[in-house]
Amino acid sequence: MAFRDHLAQADVISDPVSVELGIRRLSMQRGDIPLIFDEIIEATGQRAAVNVLTRSALCQKWDCTPSELGAAMIEAQHHPVEPAHVDFTDALFNYLVSDDVDLTTIPVPWHFEEDRGRYMSASIIIAQYAGRRNLSFHRMYVRSPNTTVARLVPRHLCEMVEQARANGDEVPIAVVNAPDPTVLLAAAMSFEDHIDELEIAAHLHQRLVGSELNVCIAPNGITVPSDAEYVWLGSITLDDDLEGPYVDITGTLDTERMQPVIRFDTQYQRESPIFHALISSGAEHRTLMGLPRAPIIQNAVNRVCPCHDVSLTAGGSGWLSVVIQITPNRPSDGHDAVMAAFAAHTSVKQVIAVDQDIDPEDPVAVEWALMTRWQPAKDTIILENQRGSSLDPSCNSDGTTSKIGKDATIPLGVDRSPFERVT
């Protein structure tokens, strides 16, 4: 099931639109609903899509509940599957091939005036070096027609680049835009160990779509999904350049810093391709960044008591605030479940525990539970001098923060009727 198969519910914008501030502006005017832009002024014959991949949309397309999606993501981590290999010449992105890469003719958007310029925000980097493969999201500033500057946070790809540079090597890569959403979810997951995200995606594809995930080996040796809308082959070079400022997931402006330069040598694209032009700080950004953390949190909380759902809230930018829906079995379960959630996602600043009758996706219902079931003096956890998130501008200069947990579950052993909403 390709990326474009998820676009059936999107409204089509036929009027010409510019990638420079126009896509986000029109999205806001239309209430940030799923949109396809059919005529991009700077990219003749190409289209762009925004606001497509939210949790509810994915669950509807895959005919599963949020809890079932979370369970599938947990299972995929423990049971990776080898994807199916097809011949590179059969890949759908082989419709148009160019060795004269010009990213300025692709619908790469400039969403905010405060950004450094045009950014790929929904593209993933697939890197292979020293016998390891890594898939991960990285925003990429379009520096020139055939180069970008990529923000590498200190995780596996950054370690790979540092190892290669110590040996005087460039890192061969493919940059992929708009592959199957199972690949996007797998690329957004983070692991302590070096786990092959393509094999995670292959498991998800079998479980959620009911068929094998097709991949192929590109001429530079990188394995890529065969149904992507765009594929670029190139290298992470030995050079650095300025990246940022950039409006990040919280809607605040991230700073500029020196980051690795990527050079592209070859470009592939599907017929009438659709560029995934994710809007930073929007619902789609929150989904792709936060949704893969939910099963990790759920798995940890399940070790304390049954955890039915996890929501990384919109108010917390899909990253900093979590609501866990649980069934406590012991008086301490609410407290212990909150602590388990903090341990599973160290960037989170607030955790709220609610009962199974409260929809964790509904902020009004969650606040109602707080106001009717939570006593601040005894149901609140305050943690000081904790590791914070680089996305939280209120953190201390050393990166630490205070954190708060709230147990808004009905106390065990009491008459529940006064706490239950009459419907």
- 286 domain-assigned: no
Q: Are 264 and 343 within one domain?
A: no
Residue 366 near residue 350 (C-beta atoms within 8 A): no
Check 227, 248, 309, 336 and give the catalytic one: 248
Q: Residue 115 corresponds to which tokens in the numbers above?
A: 């950004």
Of 278, 313, 329, which marks where a domain is finished?
278
Per-residue pLDDT at 423: 84
Question: Given 3-state DSSP classes, what are the helix, strand and coil percentages for the chain, each rounded to the nearest 5?
Answer: 30, 30, 40
The answer, yes or no, to whether residue 390 has pLDDT greater than 90, is no
Of 278, 302, 334, which marks where a domain is finished?
278
Q: CA 49, CA 4: separation in Å to the nearest integer?
A: 9
Please tell me the number of Cα atoms within 13 Å of 60 on its side-chain side: 11
Per-residue pLDDT at 194: 75
Please tell me the number of Cα atoms within 13 Å of 282 on its side-chain side: 23
- 26 domain-assigned: no
Q: Are 119 and 254 within one domain?
A: yes
Residue 13 near residue 35 (C-beta atoms within 8 A): yes
- 348 domain-assigned: yes
Q: Are 311 and 265 within one domain?
A: no
Per-residue pLDDT at 362: 96
Q: What is the mean pLDDT of the chain?
A: 95
Report how far apart, in Å, the C-alpha atoms of 202 and of each of 72, 82, 85, 209 are. Answer: 12, 6, 11, 10
CA 230 from centre of chain? 18
The CATH number of the domain holding residue 92 is: 2.30.110.10
Per-residue pLDDT at 10: 95
Per-residue pLDDT at 123: 97
Of 231, 254, 278, which marks where a domain is finished?
278
Least confident of 288-292, 347-351, 398-402: 288-292
Q: Are 273 and 178 within one domain?
A: yes
The answer, yes or no, to whether residue 190 has pLDDT greater than 90, is no
What band does 116 get if pLDDT is binned at 50, 70 and 90? very high
Q: Is 169 part of the annotated catalytic residue set?
A: no
- DSSP H or E stretch at residue 68: helix 66-78
Per-residue pLDDT at 37: 98
Q: CA 177, CA 199: separation in Å to the nearest integer?
A: 18
Q: Are 235 and 153 within one domain?
A: yes
Residue 263 near residue 234 (C-beta atoms within 8 A): yes
Taking residues 187-211, what's their average pLDDT?
90
- 14 domain-assigned: no
Least confident of 139-143, 262-266, 311-315: 311-315
Q: CA 53, CA 164: separation in Å to the nearest integer?
A: 34
Taking residues 24-49, what's their average pLDDT?
95
Per-residue pLDDT at 154: 85
**140 has which bridge partners?**
120, 150
- 416 domain-assigned: no
Per-residue pLDDT at 408: 99
What's 164-188 look like in SS3?
Answer: HHHCCCCEEEEEEECCCHHHHHHHH
**223 has which bridge partners?**
217
165-184 pLDDT tens trace: 999 999 999 999 999 999 99
Q: Are 164 and 131 within one domain?
A: yes
- 58 domain-assigned: no
The CATH number of the domain holding residue 346 is: 3.40.1670.10
- DSSP H or E stretch at residue 209: none
Q: Are 318 and 171 within one domain?
A: no
Q: Give CA angle at 96 (21, 139), nearest 5°.
A: 40
Q: Are 167 and 240 within one domain?
A: yes
Per-residue pLDDT at 268: 98
374-388 pLDDT tens trace: 999 999 999 999 999
Residue 71 near residue 60 (C-beta atoms within 8 A): no
The answer, yes or no, to whether residue 305 has pLDDT greater than 80, is yes
The answer, yes or no, to whether residue 250 has pLDDT greater than 80, is yes
Q: Would the pTM of this model clear 0.75, i.e. be above it?
A: yes
Q: Are 91 and 192 within one domain?
A: yes
What band does 91 get if pLDDT is binned at 50, 70 and 90? very high
Per-residue pLDDT at 189: 86
- 16 domain-assigned: no
Q: Are 209 and 260 within one domain?
A: yes
Percent of the chain with pLDDT over 90: 90
Taking residues 287-310, what's their average pLDDT?
92
Per-residue pLDDT at 191: 73
Q: Give CA angle at 26 (24, 31), nearest 5°.
A: 95
Q: Are 107 and 176 within one domain?
A: yes
- 12 domain-assigned: no
Residue 158 lies in domain: 65-278
Domain count, the chain: 2
Q: CA 323, CA 317: separation in Å to the nearest integer?
A: 13
267-283 pLDDT tens trace: 999 999 999 999 999 98
Residue 177 near residue 120 (C-beta atoms within 8 A): yes
Q: Are 241 and 326 within one domain?
A: no
